[in-house]
Amino acid sequence: MVAQNGKDLLIKLDMTGDGQFETIAGLRATRISFNAETVDVTSLDSEGGWRELLGGAGVRSAAISGSGVFKDANTDERARQIFFDGEIPEFQVIIPDFGTIEGAFMVSSLEYAGSHNGEATYELSLASAAALTFTAL
**Domain residue ranges in the chain:** 6-136
pLDDT at 1: 60
* 136 DSSP β-pair partners: 99
For 31-62, what is each residue's pLDDT tens digit? 999 999 999 999 999 999 999 999 999 999 99
Is 30 exposed, middle or buried, given 0-12, 13-18 or 19+ CB atoms closer than 10 A? buried
Q: Are 24 and 11 in contact (CB under 8 A)?
A: yes
Of residues 41 and 1, more confidence is placed in 41
pLDDT at 113: 95
Is 22 exposed, middle or buried, given 0-12, 13-18 or 19+ CB atoms closer than 10 A? middle
Q: Which residue stretches of 32-131 are H helix?
A: 74-85
Nearest to 78 by CA among 34, 18, 7: 18
Q: Is the pTM of this model over 0.85?
A: yes
Topology of domain 6-136, CATH = Pnp Oxidase; Chain A (2.30.110)
| Mean pLDDT estimate for the chain | 93
Give the integer Cα–Cα distance in Å for 112 and 133.
30
